Each structure stands twice: as C-alpha cells, then as structure tokens.
Amino acid sequence: MADVPEEVRERVAADPYCDVLGIEVTDLAPGEARTELTVTDELVNFHGTPHGGAIYSLADAAFAAASNSHGRTAVALETNISYLEAVAVGETLTATAEETHAAGRTAEYEVVVTDEGGGRVATFRGRVYRPE
C-alpha cells in the first residue's frame, strides 16, 4: 500500500482549528487516521462534561485526515455522530477513522472515539466527495 504524500502530512499537521483545540494527529495512513485530544476545563459544557462540539471536532479531524490521505481533495458531504458516554476532565480521547467504502468520487468513513481504557465514547460516520 502506498504511503501518504509528505505534502498531505504537512497540510494535515498544520490545521489551525485543531491547533486551537489541542487536537493532534498521531497516525496517518491511506484511508486511516488517528487523532487525540485531552479534555481540559475549557472544553466542558455547563454539566462539567466534554462539550459535544469538542468530541465532534476530534472525530471530524480524524475523518478529514483519513479522507484526504490519498492525496486527492476530499470534502464532506454529510456527517453524523452518536454520543455514547461522558468522560472526565483530564481524560485523553482518541478518534480512529477508517475508510469503509469508496466508489468513484465518493467514500464513506467510520470514526470511533474511545477513552483511555478503550471504552467507546462516540461513533461518527461521514461521506466525502472528491471533485478531482
């Protein structure tokens, strides 16, 4: 299997939104990506649990990295997320994205967000369109 082009790795690593939130891409391969985020006090909602937007952003970053890892521009067509469990401040979450279907100019991805113990926190699904 081919490796991810270096210019794609650099573009993914330089994402300013991920930088603001503290999301790090820890693994990138063709059709796959892994991101991590440590939940801080700034990322919780008024219940004291991680804001859904922070978890969504973590999953979306893995989705974006995996879908663009082939070196072709991929833009989201649709996404959805199911939140399953809450975690505490200080917990590091991991989002693992995998390409589950590709045909023509579209592809589908599943992203599983887990806590430090490997428990599933959320499931995200997304489809992309590749205009090129």
Which tens digit of pLDDT belongs to each residue from 56-65?
Answer: 999 999 999 9
In a domain, 64, yes or no: yes
Cα gap 54→14, rounded to integer Å: 18
Residue 125 inside a domain? The answer is yes
Our count of domains for the chain comes to 1
**In the chain, what is the greatest distance between 2 CA atoms, to the nearest angstrom?**
45
Residues 30-49: tens digit of each pLDDT: 999 999 999 999 999 999 99
Interatomic CA distance for residues 121 and 117, integer angstroms: 11
Q: Establish if 70 belongs to a structural domain.
A: yes
| Backbone φ, ψ for residue 23 (5° rounding) | -85, 130
Residue 132: pLDDT band (50, 70, 90) is confident
**Residue partners of 50: CB distance under 8 A and separation at least 6:** 39, 43, 44, 86, 87, 93
In a domain, 1, yes or no: no
Q: Does residue 98 lie in a domain region?
A: yes
Q: Quickly count: other Cβ atoms within 10 Å of residue 85's Cβ.
A: 12
Structural domain includes residue 58: yes
In a domain, 31, yes or no: yes
Q: By residue range, what is the domain housing residue 112?
A: 6-129
Q: What is the CATH number of the domain that holds 14?
A: 3.10.129.10
Q: Quick one: which of 95, 118, 80, 125 has its CA closest to 33?
A: 95
Any domain includes 95? yes
Q: pTM for the whole thing?
A: 0.95
Strand 106-114 with 120-129, pairing = antiparallel
pLDDT of residue 1: 43
